[in-house]
Amino acid sequence: MPVNPNPGNQNPRDERADHVESTVVPVDSAQLNDDEVAEVVEAVESMEAAIEGAPSPADEAEPTYLSYEEFGRRFFEIAVTEARIGTAFTAIAGEEFEVGPIGSGPGGMVKVQARVRVAEPEITRDVGQLITFTVKLPLNIALLVNLKVDRIRYDVDGLVTLPLTVRCATPLQLRIEVEPPRPRDVFVDVNSHNVRGEIIRNLAQVDDEIRRVIAKFVATEIEKPEIRKARLIDVDTELGRAFEGM
């Protein structure tokens, strides 16, 4: 009977295969229908394929090491993405609010009302020395100008632009800072249906009033507790939770 001169050098994969073969329980195929036989064959083939494909320690790739500085930079670039920034502004998207009636024009004789709806934000990222984002909030505005003797309606498209900057803070925090919008950061495109409506709109300074009110509304929204919370990641706290769950 041949003797294996190197019994300790037996291939580990062969050992696993022998073990599987020894644990297979014989099945009387006469007692199985065609579907059941096919299921048994498929299960055995899947087990063999898993054994053949199982990585051995020699197959595992060596890790690529980073410096602490490189890790920190990589962490920021991977952790703060457009999708994650978008979650901070989900509460604003779809919001509707009423403006007015507010007095406008000479002596405040003209009353301006508007219903504003905030659409889904558009977010772009710029990775430089700082990681910054530009958040654009499209607006749909139904505008009504009341002249007492007449009412004029306008269809208005608007856009609020918010610049964001990602920063580090002690002890180990990731903060997303946003500058509150000013009236000049609000763009409105008023569609006047006739020359008369265009003249009244300019005389009543409608655009300026709409920009001012929208800027104030958005500035208030981004300071709400749920949005402020989404703009702060306490890494120290999150790491503590992760280790507690190990």
- Mind listing the domains of the chain with CATH numbers? 12-22+31-51 (no CATH), 69-244 (3.15.10)
pLDDT digits (tens, 9 = 90+) for 29-54: 455 566 666 666 676 666 666 666 65
Question: Is the pTM here over 0.75, yes or no?
Answer: no
Mean pLDDT across the chain, nearest whole number? 75
Report the alpha-carbon distance of residue 238 to residue 138 in Å, rounded.
34
Band of pLDDT at residue 132, cut at 50, 70 and 90:
very high
In contact, 144 and 156? CB cutoff 8 Å: no
Report the alpha-carbon distance of residue 186 to residue 160 in Å, rounded.
5
Closest CA to 236 of 170, 167, 165: 170
Question: What are the φ and ψ backbone dihedral angles of 175, each rounded to 5 degrees?
Answer: -120, 135
Report the alpha-carbon distance of residue 133 to residue 93 in Å, rounded.
17
pLDDT at 26: 52
Instruction: State yes or no: pLDDT of 108 exceeds 70.
Output: no
Which carries the bigger pLDDT value, residue 39 or residue 76?
A: 76
pLDDT digits (tens, 9 = 90+) for 204-245: 567 787 888 888 888 888 888 888 888 888 888 888 888 887
Closest CA to 176 of 190, 192, 162, 188: 162
